[in-house]
Structure 1
Amino acid sequence: MKKRNFSLFDVINGSILAIICLIVLYPLVFVISASISNPAEVVSGNMWLWPVDITLYGYERVFSNSDILTGYTNTIIYTTVGTAINVAMTILAAYPLARPNFPGRNIIMALIVFTMFFGGGLIPTYMVVRELGMTNTMWALIIPNAVSVYNIIIMRTYFQSSIPGELLEAAEIDGSADFRNLFQIVLPLSIPIIAVMVLFYAVGHWNSYFSALIYLTDRSLYPLQLFMREILIQGQMEEMINPADTSHSETIMNEEAVKYAIIVVANLPIFLLYPFLQKYFVKGVMIGALKG
């Protein structure tokens, strides 16, 4: 093995990165530990990193609340359906724009990019959604954001830089049409960028709450984030606990346990998904930064 001489820069840079890593990881570890610790120890400050007097009270309350389970189910549906539509629309938009023989592609791309900087605003968008009859339906959360211009640019750049044009030309000489080229040649070679798009869109759908706040009034359609907003911001934790059975101080401590448990439960799917797609995520960001 080659011996490497560490310079002063390497030592300083490594130390700074280690400190930043600890700063980023501490809140995550703290929230997870607090969610399974005795609320009294958390409120008193005795728990500052590792769990103390482990209890699952918060998780019991979360999963016994029907609103949380309804929101969780709705969010999974919205994320799955929305991500599938997003990725399909992005591919169908990016592929022709990446083909050099597609007529008018520069004009079309300019019009698409134009929408990144100029939009109608919230009120006109709401009026369009209402006139289309999509209010109080899941489509109000999916159709208005069916495609992202930024993601089209990233995917188009990937097609242009990573798919050899000679490969598609050879397929066309053999009689292959554009759809066949897309599904049998381009997509199998584009797994990394597709994974990036899935991560981008899925995280966006999972964390989204503003569209639901605007377009939904039926609580049975609320995503998880809206119920979290009610609990964490509007202080509606009384729905999960029975104040008559506890003192005021105990009620506050129970609310703390529920709060941390909700944060963990709400972010668990993203925590599980991200490690598998991290390398594709970094690659996708680099494609957009260096070649876009």
Structure 2
Amino acid sequence: MATRTAYDSGLERFNRTNKVVNFFFNLIFIILALVCVIPVVVVLSISFSSEDSIRETGYHLLPIAFSGEAYGYIVKQGTMILRAFGVSALVTVVGTVLGVFLTTSMGYVISRPAYKLKGFLTWVVFIPMVFNGGLVSSYFINSNLLGLKDSIWALILPLAVSSFNVIICKTFFKSTIPDGLIESAEIDGASQLRIFFSIILPISLPVIATIGLFLCFAYWNDWFQSMLYIDNQNLYSLQALLNSLMSNVDALAKNAASMGVSYAVLVATMPKESARMAVAILIVLPVAFAYPFFQKYFISGLTIGAVKG
């Protein structure tokens, strides 16, 4: 009877401790969620605020004076915005598809124990994670040697493959694809390409979704490649346009003025701060809507690929 009482008492203390720990963990996650959500809410609030209220009272969590002027202005400049949006969408789709193919194929190759150059290629992948050639050498190769200057490929190829993504794929294939499955396919006469496309990829949706999401975010949010390699404004991505707006409040007006609109009138009437934030919201929305569809595979791919080295 005494043992039973001691057991119940210990179980009750454990439950109380567990509740306290869960409370603090929930509190920490709520704080982290607010840290992520509040800036987006502030940006959205600014995009719907009038320029006068921003100048007079600054930024607020909720608009002091509601106005859709920024979005109306963006609609008026629809040609430029749509062109930049199209460039971003094209680069993201093509870059993600190409990057997933190159990353998974290389990760699969170096994950096979029978491949003779596995050790050498593993070092080739690993070394760039530790040592970087530098911006000057990258610019020289991409611009002069490969001739990518002012080309849409300058926005795609430099980001297509990263060592980190290749290592994730290698770990996933090594820990989840049984050697017997590949050996049985080879006995049946299947080539390596047939094995990769017909067997490996269909059962690797988690890691494909994970790498695809990484690449999608990288391409969609990238503005640095445009700054380095693009002088033609027709090839500006939406992110490069936003960067121009952030660094030069008159950038949107200058672009619109080149279409025959009075520059002085545009500078005087355009909603500068709210327009910047409205463009930022336009950039965030596609990724925010796409993420829930990838979330299940994304989490699964990260956890499975992290089990073994």
Identify the TM-score tier after normalising by the shorter chain: 0.7 to 0.9
1:9 has 2:26 as partner: no
CA distance in 2, matches of 1:20, 1:185: 40
**CA 64–102 in structure 1, closer or farther in 2 if over 3 Å, else same:** same
Q: For residue 102 of structure 1, what is the amino acid of its counterpart?
A: Y
Q: Is the contact between residue 253 and residue 266 of structure 2 (CA under 8 Å) also seen in structure 1?
A: no
Q: Is the contact between residue 154 and residue 287 of structure 1 (CA under 8 Å) also seen in structure 2?
A: no
After TM superposition, the structure 1 stretch with the greater mean CA deviation from structure 2, 81-90 or 276-285, is 276-285
Matches within 5 A, 1:39-58: 39-45=51-57, 48-51=60-63, 54-58=66-70
Q: For residue 259 of structure 1, what is the amino acid of its counterpart?
A: R
1:178 to 171, 192, 205: 192
Cα deviation for residue 78 of structure 1 reads: 1.1
Cα deviation for residue 161 of structure 1 reads: 1.1
1:205 to 219, 223, 231: 219
Cα deviation for residue 137 of structure 1 reads: 0.5
Q: Which residue of 1 aligns with 2:89?
A: 76
2:205 to 185, 191, 200: 191
CA distance in 2, matches of 1:35, 1:102: 55
Cα deviation for residue 245 of structure 1 reads: 6.3
Gaps of 5+ in 1: none
- Structure label with greater radius of gyration: 2
Cα deviation for residue 58 of structure 1 reads: 0.9
Q: Which residue of 2 aligns with 1:263?
A: 280
Cα deviation for residue 81 of structure 1 reads: 1.2
Q: Which residue of 1 aligns with 2:109?
A: 96
CA distance in 2, matches of 1:232, 1:64: 20
Cα deviation for residue 19 of structure 1 reads: 2.3
Q: Which residue of 2 aligns with 1:273?
A: 290
Cα deviation for residue 136 of structure 1 reads: 0.8
2:126 to 107, 113, 133: 113
Q: Is the contact between residue 74 and residue 275 of structure 2 (CA under 8 Å) also seen in structure 1?
A: yes
1:36 to 38, 48, 55: 48
TM-score (norm 1): 0.87
Q: Is the contact between residue 48 and residue 63 of structure 2 (CA under 8 Å) also seen in structure 1?
A: yes
Q: For residue 70 of structure 1, what is the amino acid of its counterpart?
A: R
Deviations, residues 13-71 of structure 1 (Å, cap 9, x unaligned): 22222222223211112222332344444554498334565432211212322332221
2:303 to 280, 286, 290: 286
Give the alignment's Cα RMSD to 1 decimal: 2.7
Q: For residue 270 of structure 1, what is the amino acid of its counterpart?
A: V
1:234 has 2:251 as partner: no
SS at match of 1:7: helix
CA distance in 1, matches of 2:235, 2:274: 26
Deviations, residues 136-162 of structure 1 (Å, cap 9, x unaligned): 101122223331111011011111111
Q: Which residue of 2 aligns with 1:155?
A: 169
CA distance in 2, matches of 1:176, 1:70: 45
CA distance in 1, matches of 2:33, 2:121: 43
Q: Which residue of 2 aligns with 1:215?
A: 229
TM-score (norm 2): 0.82
After TM superposition, the structure 1 stretch with the greater mean CA deviation from structure 2, 214-223 or 9-18, is 9-18
Larger RCO (CA within 8 A; separation ≥ 6) = 1
CA distance in 1, matches of 2:267, 2:137: 49
Cα deviation for residue 242 of structure 1 reads: 7.4
1:64 to 57, 76, 79: 76
Deviations, residues 147-185 of structure 1 (Å, cap 9, x unaligned): 111101101111111122222222222222221111111
Identity of matched residues, %: 32
Deviations, residues 215-258 of structure 1 (Å, cap 9, x unaligned): 1111111111221111122212544697866997xx58x22221
**CA 140–53 in structure 1, closer or farther in 2 if over 3 Å, else same:** same
**CA 123–229 in structure 1, closer or farther in 2 if over 3 Å, else same:** same
CA distance in 1, matches of 2:162, 2:101: 12
CA distance in 1, matches of 2:59, 2:302: 37
**CA 157–52 in structure 1, closer or farther in 2 if over 3 Å, else same:** same
SS at match of 1:168: helix
